[in-house]
């Protein structure tokens, strides 16, 4: 029995349905894995489980591991990502509970589940699996910079954790709804859990990061769209290198810039202001032109989750007027989103 099956490219083999684990998290921005699974793979999510003190919730039923197992769950998925991707000791009792209850564990942290002795021993004792989806493919190439066939779109953020994955998933679905051949390309652990394939960009050795982005969106039919999930922000003091590698390697024809209304300071780095949308568009086009001189910005995806509907429509309209570009919140959809899709395909 393997104690740590590595399944980066075959999540269809992941044990499911899931119980979503929320750790001891009090910052909703860190729970994007749980929210993403709830929204894009609801048929696989039975409920949620958290440590004492956690304040975030997916709104799914709260179940103990034993209740979830009795209800048919096969695995507990770690649905939160703290800075640095480590597994804090406070989570370990809950993870042991899940193994004891008969659930496999699925993680996407930098720290590997199988690297924690007490979990590995418990998995062996209970006949369970520890599955890390953040393991990048081995033998990634150095980027060639060669232009590939097919069309590519990349979502580019002003910050982390504000809708780049949602936007890419929404655009890929909208493209398919219009009869186009489009593939969502996942670059992070949640996206990989949802899509069933992808490359965890932030876990790749730095020298191969742009090569990983090339590997993620290979040559395709000239009419095919790869809709690539962005990572980080070109202005992020810790993660900009990952963002630039993904921009260079994915060679997008089109970018959509993602921004959260009211986010003034960088998540987890509050001594840094969030850059303006204008600055982010300008920087992404300048840097992206290095590997695709035809790069253009189709518009802006505006996360208006903090606003009521009237204020959201006002924010979308005023941002569109200011920028002279299509602006939409994919979560709200509507005519504004259809105009953004039009602009991507124009």
Site for a copy of itself, rule CB under 8 A: 83-85, 110, 141-146, 201-207, 209-211, 235, 237-245, 248, 269, 271-272, 283, 286-287, 290-291
Q: Decide: residue 270, CB within 10 A, 0-12 exposed, 13-18 middle, 19+ buried.
A: exposed
Rounded to a whole number of angstroms, the minimum distance from the CB of residue 142 to a copy of itself is 5
Rounded to a whole number of angstroms, the minimum distance from the CB of residue 14 to a copy of itself is 23
Cα dihedral 21, 274, 271, 304, rounded to 10, equals -50
Strand partners, 161: none
Place of tokens 């032109």: 289
DSSP letter (8 states) at residue 91: G
Give whichever of 44 and 165 is closer to a copy of itself, judged by the CB atom.
Answer: 165
Give whichever of 28 and 115 is closer to a copy of itself, judged by the CB atom.
Answer: 115
Give whichever of 94 and 203 is closer to a copy of itself, judged by the CB atom.
Answer: 203
Asked if residue 323 lies in contact with residue 277, where contact means CB atoms within 8 angstroms, the answer is yes
Give whichever of 96 and 246 is closer to a copy of itself, judged by the CB atom.
Answer: 246
CB within 8 Å of 66: residues ≥ 6 apart: 97, 101
Rounded to a whole number of angstroms, the minimum distance from the CB of residue 250 to a copy of itself is 12
Rounded to a whole number of angstroms, the minimum distance from the CB of residue 276 to a copy of itself is 13
Side-by-side strand order, sheet with 225-228:
182-185, 225-228, 151-157, 254-260, 296-303, 327-328
Residue 235 has which token pair? 């202005």
Rounded to a whole number of angstroms, the minimum distance from the CB of residue 39 to a copy of itself is 25
Rounded to a whole number of angstroms, the minimum distance from the CB of residue 110 to a copy of itself is 7
Give whichever of 20 and 204 is closer to a copy of itself, judged by the CB atom.
Answer: 204
Give whichever of 258 and 283 is closer to a copy of itself, judged by the CB atom.
Answer: 283
Rounded to a whole number of angstroms, the minimum distance from the CB of residue 100 to a copy of itself is 29
Give whichever of 155 and 319 is closer to a copy of itself, judged by the CB atom.
Answer: 155
- Residue 147: how many CB atoms within 10 A of its CB? 11
Rounded to a whole number of angstroms, the minimum distance from the CB of residue 101 to a copy of itself is 32
CA 212, 291, 246, 223 torsion: positive or negative? negative
Give whichever of 143 and 258 is closer to a copy of itself, judged by the CB atom.
Answer: 143
Give whichever of 111 and 305 is closer to a copy of itself, judged by the CB atom.
Answer: 111
Asked if residue 298 lies in contact with residue 344, where contact means CB atoms within 8 angstroms, the answer is yes
Rounded to a whole number of angstroms, the minimum distance from the CB of residue 289 to a copy of itself is 10
Give whichever of 283 and 336 is closer to a copy of itself, judged by the CB atom.
Answer: 283
Distance, in Å, from the CA atom of 323 to the CA atom of 151, rounded to the nearest integer, reads 25
Residue 144 has which token pair? 């060639």
Rounded to a whole number of angstroms, the minimum distance from the CB of residue 204 to a copy of itself is 5
CA 156, 218, 139, 124 torsion: positive or negative? positive
Cα dihedral 231, 330, 19, 83, rounded to 10, equals 30
Distance, in Å, from the CA atom of 228 to the CA atom of 219, rounded to the nearest integer, reads 14
Distance, in Å, from the CA atom of 271 to the CA atom of 160, rounded to the nearest integer, reads 15
């Amino acid at each position: 029995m393997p104690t740590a099956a590595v399944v980066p490219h075959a999540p269809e083999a992941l044990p499911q349905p899931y119980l979503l684990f929320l750790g001891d998290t009090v910052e909703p921005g860190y729970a994007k894995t749980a929210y993403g699974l709830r929204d894009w793979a609801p048929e696989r999510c039975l409920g949620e489980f958290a440590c004492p003190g956690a304040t975030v919730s997916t709104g799914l039923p709260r179940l103990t591991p034993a209740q979830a197992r009795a209800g048919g769950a096969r695995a507990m998925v770690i649905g939160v990502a703290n800075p640095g991707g480590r597994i804090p000791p406070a989570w370990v009792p809950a993870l042991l509970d899940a193994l004891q209850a008969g659930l496999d564990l699925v993680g996407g942290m930098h720290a590997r589940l199988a690297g924690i002795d007490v979990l590995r021993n418990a998995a062996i004792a209970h006949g369970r699996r520890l599955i890390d989806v953040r393991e990048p493919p081995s033998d990634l190439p150095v980027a060639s910079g060669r232009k590939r066939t097919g069309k590519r779109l990349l979502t580019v953020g002003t910050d982390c954790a504000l809708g780049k994955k949602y936007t890419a998933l929404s655009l890929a679905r909208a493209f398919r709804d219009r009869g186009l051949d489009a593939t969502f390309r996942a670059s992070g652990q949640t996206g990989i859990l949802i899509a069933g394939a992808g490359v965890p960009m932030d876990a790749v050795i730095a020298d191969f990061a742009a090569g990983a982005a090339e590997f993620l969106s290979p040559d395709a039919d000239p009419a095919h769209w790869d809709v690539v999930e962005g990572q980080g922000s070109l202005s992020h003091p810790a993660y900009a290198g990952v963002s630039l590698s993904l921009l260079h390697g994915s060679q997008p024809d089109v970018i959509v810039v993602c921004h959260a209304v009211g986010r003034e300071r960088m998540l987890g780095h509050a001594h840094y202001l969030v850059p303006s949308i204008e600055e982010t568009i300008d920087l992404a086009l300048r840097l992206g032109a290095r590997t695709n001189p035809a790069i253009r910005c189709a518009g802006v995806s505006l996360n208006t989750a903090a606003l009521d509907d009237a204020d959201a429509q006002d924010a979308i309209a005023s941002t569109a007027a200011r920028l002279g570009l299509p602006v939409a919140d994919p979560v709200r959809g509507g005519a504004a989103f259809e105009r953004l899709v039009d602009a991507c395909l124009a």
